[in-house]
Amino acid sequence: MTHELAIDLTLDAPAEKLFRCYTDPKLLQKWFAPEPWTIKSVDIDPRAGGRMSFVMASPDGHEYPNSGIYLEVVPNRKIVTTDAVTPDFKPSGPFMIAEVTFEDLGNGKTRYRAVARHWNEETLKQHKEMGFEPGWTQTARQLEALARKI
């Protein structure tokens, strides 16, 4: 697909635990930012049309609020979100639609695919330069580590 960035990994954790880490705000806060960045706050309602808001903080304390909505949530299988619409359904400056899928491979392993679909080449390039692949891979490994503990 045009304007798409993706990572595709095998995670050593079951899909239901990975999904739980995505949909429990207390767990999401522990892994969703690539360390040493952090998530300062999380307000989510993981269902189609539900809100998704969080504040990411840089190591030097700068805060970056993010918000959007869930477009699709299939328990233990898929989560789709966008920042094109605010939680109160007002248009915002769209950056991407994110789709995360969890495919149970058996033996407690999961194929994890995270895709960021951008509206244009400019935002795709910006996301790539922000470190999409290393950042999203690092957070996926943080997710894996947390899911193995819960």
Summarised one tens digit per residue, pLDDT across range 5-15 is 999 999 999 99
pTM comes to 0.94
- Residue pair 114/140 in contact (Cβ under 8 Å)? The answer is yes
Tokens for 38?
């952090």
* Sheet-wide strand order for 97-106: 4-11, 109-117, 97-106, 78-82, 63-74, 51-57, 38-44
Bridge partners of residue 42, in order along the sequence: 54
The CATH architecture annotation of domain 4-149 reads: 2-Layer Sandwich (3.30)
Q: Which of 28-32, 45-49, 91-95 has the lowest mean pLDDT?
A: 91-95
Summarised one tens digit per residue, pLDDT across range 115-145 is 999 999 999 999 999 999 999 999 999 999 9
Domain ranges of the chain: 4-149
Spell out the alpha helix ranges (H) of 3-131. 15-23, 25-31, 121-129
